[in-house]
Structure 1
Amino acid sequence: MHTKFPTHCALAALLALLCACGGGSSIGSDEFLPTRPDGSSTGGFDALMAVSAEAPGGHCPAGGSRIDAGLDLDRDGSLSSNEVGSTQYVCNGLAGSAGGAGLNALARLRDEPAGAHCAAGGKAIDVGQDRNADGVLNADEADSTGYLCNASAGTDGANGSPGAGGANGANGLNTLLASLDEPPGAHCPYGGRRIDTGVDLDSDGALGATEVDATSYLCNGAPGASFGWITLTDATQPVLAQAHTGYLATSDAGQIVVRLPAQPSVGDVVRVSGIGTGGWRIEQNDGQAVYTAPLGGVAGRHWTLRNAPAQRVQDVASSANGRILATAHYDASVYRSTDGGITWSQIRASRGLPDFDGCAMVSSADGRKLAVASSIGVFTWTEGDPDWTLSLPGGAKAIGASADARTLVILDFNGDLHLSFDGGSGWASPVSFGAMGPASIACSSDCRAIVVAASGSPIWQSPDYGQTWQATGPTRWWTDVASSADGQRLVATAHMGGGIYGSFDGGAQWSLLRSQPQAFAAAMSADGRKLMALGRDRHDVSIDGAATWTSLTFDFQGYPQLAWSADGSRAIVGSEQGTYTSIASTTPGPAGSISGQQFDAITLQYVGNGMFNVLSHEGSLKTE
């Protein structure tokens, strides 16, 4: 289970400064030491530091302080721009996420003796959290240390001609830093630390008020909402959950019921943990559901008819994450959605794509490339292209593609198989299978393993990019075939008294997994553990590699086509009635629920539009 911790923007900014901006490096080296005309070194110079305000921008999104450091080469007691050898930034914290009261951030400046960090000694700057709240940064509280080093004497050079003696220079002054408590106010709404820097003009070793040259602030983050736990013992009445509250189901007599908040705000969190043997159940309100992909859920429990073009759909395609979708229609149009099917736009072609009868479509894993096999040829399109590209003239009935869509596999109307390894720009000599009925092609992620399933034929399989082929499996009226990413697990559907067939050895042997009349489409997750087979009014789903199945009823009408995300959590179906999408979730509304037993637990967060997401969970939970 996740535990929510306080956010300390101020400390995070300072730690980022020391880690990302060079806080662990030393300032000062031999290259800063000028030499006399005779080549001998003049000796080291004092290290100075200057702090100035940093406006919000690339270095500090919320503003902060810029700390310049270097050697006082001209011994004038101030750090000039040409003397700056290192620049770091102390950034103001952004508003922290909800959490408990945080710890104050402290900084401490101390002398650093000559040694591994500073060859000639210098200053060490420690930063960390005041974990014991005593207002002092102790040695064991320092989380990061930066160093401001004095210059080391350089190697003597060859003697030169004696020069005229110069006047003795004035003694240099030290730079000091003071860290003080800053109460809540205009500079820090929730308090923090004030950092004063300046030159020790009176050489007394303390930074007086008149010696302060610059001031910056290291502010605490906003305190988060508190999160409490409530013990539930009564299993006879459901409890309406409150935001940012956890519930301990302690009953041994019955199941504790917790109902989600009726009007949650985005970000609200609810937790339930099973203590008693009676277990627990989370119920939903109208319009609410829980996204169950983190629980291993798959799409297909319920479907949404999208506001997509109403034309009959010939084929569908999906990106690996299931959020970029495409539909090909009988009227030679192709539509695309980049938000999971909520909105759609047409991929227009200046010359159009006439006669799409019998077309098939594939997408790259990132959803940026499409390829369509139609009765007049194979067309390709990449996001940003103004038009489709005719890649292979001539009628084609089936198409498969690698994850990057660089490898394309085409079966044409004559039964010849064509392969391209450059996205359709060039094609290898075709392999002839002879006359074949309607067909489907599936590939491993790299298309090393290829499977072709055609009506009235056995299944053909190649393990070597199409160089050799072997007929495997029974002869059936095959309608679709799908593959895992490695090509070792396959599922195929057969029409007219067929069913759902599977192979778990790369296609060498096939077996009937489940009877399903009028099976039209198949899908498989990348790991081969989740499967779906689509019929006209029923679809079967397995989440354990075909060991068990669940039958769901939905009338898609006609000859539906199916595409799935790589994890099976999102699906798209195209049919004569239109376009449907589904995501892995509980049944929307009061009929949906999640339940667990003793020692099972779950944390849910509201993400908007009636949907809750699973942040963490323990045990084998049941979803409905």
Structure 2
Amino acid sequence: MTTYNGNIFVAAPPNGIRKSTNDGVTWTLANTGLPMSGSNYQVQSVGHSATALFCGTENGVFRSTDNGASWMSVNNTLPTSSNTIYCNRIYTFGNGTFLVYTGQLNQNGGGVFRTFDNGTTWLQAFSGLSSNMTVNSLAQVDGVLYAATSTGLMRSDDLGGSWQAAGTTNWAVQAVQGSGNNLVILGAFGAQRSVNGGTSWTNATGYPNTNAPQGSDLVVYDGQFYAITKTGASGCYRSVDNGATWAAFNDGLSPQNTFVQEEFHAGDEHLYMACALDCYRIPSLTTGLTNKPSAALPVPYPTVFHDQFQIDLSTFSGELAVVLIDAVGREVSRTTLVGGGLRSVPRSELAAGRYNCLLHVENSGVTHNLGQVIAE
């Protein structure tokens, strides 16, 4: 599922694309231009770039430039899809849109593909991945792209141009996400956490299984990790300590929708989850942070920056953390500082964009809103 231009879109086979223009109150079908398989629309995925929607079907990949009112094929040089090999996930990282296909790379159609021109041309994005790998999901953490695959965790430092092993994983990984220097995976040993780029892993506590099933999903939102466990009544689990410990988080879900959960989507103001019968959401903890911060708090300057910005921390003491949150509520940068003077926050690998700037006081646990900064 995805949100785009204020609308919600859900891939709901065999009915095709469902669209809501009123925040999920009512839904309509948005299948004009999509092919039918018999009497069904077998749409398996939906996502978007900055200016277009994409969906993956068992008949190929399609694009919409009119908010889902109509679709056209952009399969071009992409593999021929079928009921076993098709585009299962769609991501946008930077100015690239990525498609993840079911099936091993040595099968005709498996792998990862990317476009930088809204599907006019498609490029293979699996150089360095083994032919026996099936890619399950992708995530971007601090500018590094990670791929959870059937034989291990891979990383790319050039936006999918080439891949190499990420640390020491040589087991199946279903999902990966990260926040700061924390990497979290769901895989053959359940939920695990690494603070050194995957060189070593620590098993999480409280997670409901020790071998994450296929289809497990993972998202980080407002600095917290959420997992679709694919373990029957266990449903959704959440970690508030960077993946170290987990607990069930199914408040408000019916038994049927606790039992069958499909995927997450991190929206601007809500985290969404598509389930068997319904879609659910929880609000972002950072919604409303664009409000003017207290005059007693320091203000980042310059607000629009290139290489770094500064904060006067003269009125603070001890260890502090300046945290940047992107438009969908994800933590994208965390800089540890010490109070007592003017401090600089480097841009590092931060992508261009607008970010909410938070100041976390370690000894009290209090987080202050400092307003917004813009990286150019």
Q: Report what 2:33 is aligned to.
A: 350
- Structure 1 partner of 2:321: none
1:458–1:471 Cα contact (<8 Å) kept? yes
Partner of 1:542 in structure 2?
Answer: 239
Residue of structure 2 in register with 1:458 after alignment: 152
Distance 1:372-1:522 versus aligned 2 partners, 3 A rule: same
The two structures, once aligned, show a CA RMSD in angstroms of: 3.8
Q: 2:270 maps to what in 1?
A: 570
Find out whether 1:513 has 2:210 as its counterpart.
Answer: no
Q: Residues 145 and 156 of structure 2 are in contact (CA less than 8 Å); yes or no, is this contact kept in structure 1?
A: yes
State how far apart, in whole Å, the 2-side matches of 1:372 and 1:405 are. 18
Which residues in structure 2 correspond to 1:198-347 (within 5 Å)? Answer: 316-318=1-3, 324-347=7-30
How far apart in 2 are the matches of 1:325 and 1:504? 35
Give the Cα separation in 2 of the matches to 1:348 and 1:329. Answer: 11
Aligned counterpart for 1:417 among listed residues 87, 112, 116? 112
Matched, 1:500 2:191: yes
Query: What is the distance in 1 between the residues matched to 2:95 and 2:89?
Result: 11
Q: Is the 8 A contact 1:363 1:405 kept in 2?
A: no
Counterpart CA distance in 1 for 2:119 and 2:284 is: 38
SS of corresponding position for 1:380: strand
Is 1:426 aligned to 2:118, yes or no? Answer: no
2: distance between equivalents of 1:503 and 1:325? 34
Question: Alpha-carbon deviation of 1:462?
Answer: 0.8
1:347–1:524 distance in 2 versus 1, CA, 3 Å: same
Q: Of residues 142, 160, 163 in structure 2, which corresponds to 1:469?
A: 163
Offset of 1:546 from its aligned partner?
A: 2.8
- Indicate which of 282, 291, 298 corresponds to 1:583: 282
* CA shift in 2, pair 1:502/1:548, >3 Å: closer
Q: In the alignment, is the contact (CA less than 8 A) between 1:398 and 1:440 conserved in 2? A: no
Report the equivalent of 2:219: 523
1:442 aligns to 2:139 (yes or no)? yes
* Matched position secondary structure for 1:474: coil
Give the structure with higher Rg (CA): 1
Deviation of 1:507 after TM superposition, in Å, equals 5.2
CA distance in 2: counterparts of 1:481 and 1:325, whole angstroms: 24
Whether the 8 Å CA contact 2:43–2:55 is kept in 1: the answer is no
Q: Does 1:533 align with 2:232?
A: no
User: What residue is the counterpart of 1:408 in the other structure?
Assistant: 98
The CA deviation at 1:510 is: 4.4
Partner of 1:70: none
**Residue in 1 that maps onto 2:47:** 362
**TM-score, normalisation: structure 1:** 0.36
Q: CA deviation at 1:386?
A: 4.3
The count of residues paired between Structure 1 and Structure 2 equals: 259
Aligned to 2:348: none
1:382 equivalent among 57, 65, 68: 65
Task: Confirm or deny: 8 A CA contact 1:521 1:560 kept in the other structure.
Answer: no
| 2:123 match: secondary structure | coil
CA contact (8 A) 2:88 2:100 kept: yes
Are the equivalent residues in 2 in contact too, given 1:522–1:534 (CA < 8 A)? Answer: yes
In the TM superposition, what whole-angstrom CA distance separates every residue of 1:222-252 from its partner, at most 9, and x where no partner exists? xxxxxxxxxxxxxxxxxxxxxxxxxxxxxxx
Using the TM superposition, give the Cα deviation of residue 346 of structure 1 relative to its aligned residue in structure 2, in angstroms.
2.1
**2:262 aligns to what?**
561
Superposed CA deviations along residues 326-363 of structure 1, whole A, max 9, x for unmatched, are 21112151112244322223222234354766823334
Cα distance in 2 for residues equivalent to 1:363 and 1:351? 16
Match of 2:319 in 1: none
Question: Relative to structure 1, is the Cα distance of residues 435 and 360 closer, same or farther in structure 2, using a 3 angstrom cutoff?
Answer: farther
Please say if residues 98 and 112 of structure 2, whose CA atoms lie closer than 8 Å, have aligned partners that are also in contact: no
Contact between 2:63 and 2:72, CA under 8 Å: does it hold in 1? yes
Query: Cα 1:463–1:543, aligned 2, differ >3 Å: closer, same or farther?
Result: same
Equivalent residue number for residue 336 of structure 2: none
Determine the C-alpha separation between the residues in 2 that align with 1:386 and 1:584: 28
Residue pair 1:333, 1:346 contacting (<8 A) in 2 also = yes
Q: Which amino acid aligns with 1:574?
A: A
Q: Which runs of 5+ in 2 are unaligned?
A: 286-363, 367-376
User: How many angstroms apart in 1 are the aligned matches of 2:43 and 2:33?
Assistant: 22
| Aligned equivalents of 2:204, 2:29: Cα separation in 1 | 39
Q: 1:357 to 1:331 in 2, by over 3 A?
A: closer
Q: Which amino acid aligns with 2:186?
A: T
SS at structure 1 position matched to 2:242: coil
Cα distance change, pair 570–507 in 1 and its aligned pair in 2 (3 A): farther
Aligned-residue sequence identity (percent) comes to: 20
- Structure 2: how far apart are the matches of 1:572 and 1:435? 33
**Quick one: which amino acid aligns to residue 407 of structure 1?**
T
CA distance in 2 between counterparts of 1:356 and 1:476 reads 35
Q: Answer whether contact 1:332 1:353 (CA < 8 A) is retained.
A: no
Alignment partner of 2:74: what SS?
strand
Distance in 2, matches of 1:418 and 1:585, equals 31
- Report SS of the residue matched to 1:431: coil
Alpha-carbon offset, residue 508 of structure 1: 5.6
Q: Answer yes or no: is the 8 Å Cα contact 2:11–2:46 preserved in 1.
A: yes
1:478–1:493 Cα contact (<8 Å) kept = yes
Equivalent of 2:89 in 391, 399, 403 = 399
Amino acid at match of 1:436: M
* Residues 348, 483 of structure 1: alpha-carbon distance in 2 compared, 3 angstrom cutoff: farther
| Contact preservation (8 Å) 1:405, 1:423 | no
